[in-house]
Amino acid sequence: MKRIILPLILLTVFLASCAPVDLNAPIPTFDTGVDSNAWAQIPAGEFHFGQHEDIETTEAYEIMITDVTSSQYADFLNTAFADGYIKIDGEKIVGFYPGDEFHAVKHEEEIEAGDWVYIPLDDPSQRIKFDGTTFTAQEGYANHPMTNVTWFGAWGYCEYYDSRLPTEMEWEKAGRGTDERPFPWGDEILRENANFYSSRDPFEDMSSFGSRTSPVGFFNGKMYDGFQTINSASPYGLYDMSGNVWQWTGDVYEGMHYRFMRGGSKDTYDMDLRLWVRNNATPTYFSPGVGFRCAR
């Protein structure tokens, strides 16, 4: 009998460790002091692009210094719903997208003009709540990045405000500046630089294998309840260009329906937060680890 006691104990511990994470558990609330309405000016000129540091050039543009927040997206939904820009379709918010040019390349899926899902309302980790009349950000998440938003939902937000999603080149230049650094702040990464897997920030509970987003601009050199951050802005003053959430970019490549993301996330290992790392998904994809910012 004694021979089976230890395995049973280990099995109990294992099952307990695999218990579902409470996605709506209370979280700490911090004011970072970073203005989510601010934009950075990026000058025209050359910069180092990609892991092998090809020299590329962009025109001048502006880009948001933070990801779009849940509060900002809720405001958009309220205004856009009132003027008919978006609609409610069951448990989803949908909006019009003009479609992509279809080239019938192998494995390419056609993206036709029509209504596409912007966000799901019934996903358990959705931070936007709708009471039948008004959209609001979930308590505690107002200044967190908007997540569970499809590429269409990110595109639609930027389009509504006369802006657009940044291209991959624009995104990387805004995060990297003109030198060869791999991270927005420099050459090395520490736990105090960004929200990534096992960074031990105040929003991570490794005992339950749970990680959550941090407020936009959280890693700005301030101390929060004993957790000292390092100011990790990019050379142009952008925050969260590495970690927290992946960010949709705007390129639509010929013969490819996939869309690309940059920046890594709260669920990504530290070295995968390097600025040239890419991720991709269909434009209908959404996740609690994916958000966006706009350019113009």
As a whole number, mean pLDDT of residues 198-225 equals 83
**Gap between the Cα atoms of 73 and 81, Å rounded:** 12
Sequence-separated (6 or more) residues with CB below 8 Å from residue 36:
64, 65, 66, 68, 69, 71, 72, 143, 216, 217
What is the pLDDT, as a whole number, of residue 12? 43
As a whole number, mean pLDDT of residues 278-292 equals 97
What is the pLDDT, as a whole number, of residue 10? 40
What is the pLDDT, as a whole number, of residue 27? 83
What is the pLDDT, as a whole number, of residue 26? 76
What is the pLDDT, as a whole number, of residue 210? 58
Which domains are delineated in the chain?
Answer: 60-291 (3.90.1580.10)
What is the pLDDT, as a whole number, of residue 22? 63
**More confidently predicted of 3 and 279:** 279
Q: Give residue 98's identity as a one-letter amino acid code.
A: P
- Go through 149-188 and write b for each residue having 16 or more CB atoms within 10 A of its CB, e for each that does not: bbbbbbbbbbbbeebbbbbbbbbbbbbbbeeebbbbbeee
pLDDT surpassing 50 at residue 209: no
pLDDT surpassing 60 at residue 207: no
Dihedral angle over CA of 132, 27, 266, 291, nearest 10 = 30
Share of residues in the chain with pLDDT > 70 (%): 90
As a whole number, mean pLDDT of residues 179-208 equals 88
pLDDT surpassing 90 at residue 133: yes
Radius of gyration of the chain (CA): 20
Convert the pLDDT of each residue in 44-87 to its tens digit.
999 999 998 899 999 999 999 999 999 999 999 999 999 999 99
**Gap between the Cα atoms of 203 and 216, Å rounded:** 13
Cβ neighbours, 10 Å, residue 283 = 22
In this prediction the pTM is 0.90
Share of residues in the chain with pLDDT > 90 (%): 85
Q: What share of the chain is helix, strand, coil (3-state, %, to 5)?
A: 20, 25, 60
Q: Give residue 174's identity as a one-letter amino acid code.
A: A
What is the pLDDT, as a whole number, of residue 148? 97
pLDDT surpassing 90 at residue 198: no
As a whole number, mean pLDDT of residues 241-264 equals 97
